Chains A and B, each alone.
Chain A
């Protein structure tokens, strides 16, 4: 009874999408609880990123529901989904490359900024409405810059930053939106081990300190097993299994589909 009365935080229900004859996702269902780190793993081409694209509205699924805070969001526009409080980072970084780090993060605040043309035009001092608003948002962005150690690149064009730092800026921009659900698509790809350690630390911190629920796609098995509360395994667009890291590691199909050979068992344990 209890589970029925509780409002579902985030749920995907019988989601399907196909491109041409290819079933990219086939009858995917899972639920994410508030405050957890929920990882999605699977081999390349399994449909992980497609799933993210369905969630934040880039693709319109052929069937099924996606429910966020009691509201159906499948087929809605990406900007609408973003305004509901779902943030996202990409596997291949999508930043405003000709803007500074600060400006990128300020764009994350876009949905909160209220001063329109008129009030913006009469912004002469810090005491005006637009002035106060600007100060408040900059303060928030500065907090994120401190949180992610981005002080040194605050005013640099992000296009010229190293790859790992760009990933950080993208994470920062997603955080600036103050999302309730954050979709991270391979946040550690292309990073060196030191940057990876930092990223893992921040992801945990985002969960603990900021209370943001995280949906994570990642190939680094050690990291996934380390930080996830629960894991969903998909392959060829279908669910293989779902459960805690311990359960998933023992699942025979996971070993076959994801790791190929029995010998690799020790590596993930």
Chain B
């Protein structure tokens, strides 16, 4: 019994970092219907720069982490402004290919600058400290990730639903032309979207880095986050978070009781299942476009 509960709890813990990546992808998808495959590597760059600031320049955490988030925000602004906006007569597929290109460029840049060998990121919380609740152990980092994921989800949800900017984002997604005619600067909205998304991704990166840090560290969380977002319907913030928990838990259960080798494949098996049975995702209110 204890073992089962432990597996479930670890699953949710693992799911929290997927959840953050999922949130980041959903934000961009919601405004532009682009799936941003560079999400992980944007976070990667921010994380490695944080590492640099901490290790080479010996700045304290309270300087390094906020500046990492600020950098991530600017990186998002910059990539949207300098790369995606330059696309001539863009369509969604073309944009997705551009993000794949960005992913490779950023990954290459980080590997070249910092090398491929694993590093250790200093962090205020050690990933090896753990909180115990009876027989169940949760590392304090996992607990932090869990809290951060839920908090960010709530804040973003409220922001998108009720703020003026959030509503402008929603309008931009539904009809860009009409949004512009309402006086909404859609280009700026897209830029802000990328910034916020990059910020959320960077948060995920910073929370993953203490456990594993090398240039490929974000690939797996990004794909799982994407899986979680699809599971949640791609446009729902709570959906992507709960999708991430489902994936984390199922993955851990499968790894614990069936086969550790196929642990990662399970996420994608779930996606195939969901897409077959409920293609709009588990949480999306699905709108059918009337013809």
Contact = CB atoms under 8 A, between A and B. Distances in A.
A96 B164 contact: no
Contact of A96 (B165, B171, B186, B290): B171
18 contacts: A78-B180, A78-B181, A79-B186, A82-B180, A82-B181, A88-B181, A96-B174, A97-B174, A98-B174, A99-B170, A99-B171, A99-B174, A106-B167, A110-B184, A120-B163, A121-B163, A157-B287, A159-B289
Interface stretch (A111-119, A143-151, A218-226): A111-119
B185 interface: yes
Contacts of A159: 287, 289-290
Given A94-B175, A115-B164, A77 B180 contact: yes
B87 to A, nearest CB: 18
A260 B162 CA distance: 55
A173 to B, nearest CB: 8
Contact of A117 (B165, B171, B174, B179): B165
Contact of B183 (A82, A95, A117): A82
Contacts of B178: 94-96, 173
Contact of A120 (B162, B175, B180, B182): B162
A107 interface: yes
A94 B179 CA distance: 9
B182 A110 contact: yes
Which bucket holds chain B's interface residue count? Answer: 20 to 34
Interface string A79-102: 100110001100000111111000
A56 B178 CA distance: 12
A115 B179 CA distance: 19
Nearest to A97: B174
Contact of B289 (A78, A79, A97): A97
Given A58-B177, A159-B290, A173-B178, 15 more contacts: A78-B180, A78-B181, A79-B184, A79-B186, A83-B183, A88-B181, A95-B175, A96-B174, A107-B171, A107-B179, A107-B182, A117-B164, A157-B287, A159-B287, A173-B182
B244 interface: no
Interface string B26-40: 000000000000000
A94 B174 CA distance: 10
Contact of B175 (A82, A96, A111): A96
A75 to B, nearest CB: 15
A117 B163 contact: yes
Contact of B182 (A97, A111, A121, A157): A111
Contacts of A116: 163-165
A153 to B, nearest CB: 15
Nearest to A85: B183
A233 interface: no
B168 interface: yes
Interface in A114-144: 115-117, 120-121
A159 B290 CA distance: 7
A117 to B, nearest CB: 6
Contact of A82 (B165, B182, B287): B182
A98 B284 CA distance: 13
Given A94-B177, A97-B175, A159-B290, A111 B185 contact: no
Residue among A82, A88, A96, A157 with the most chain B CB within 10 A? A96
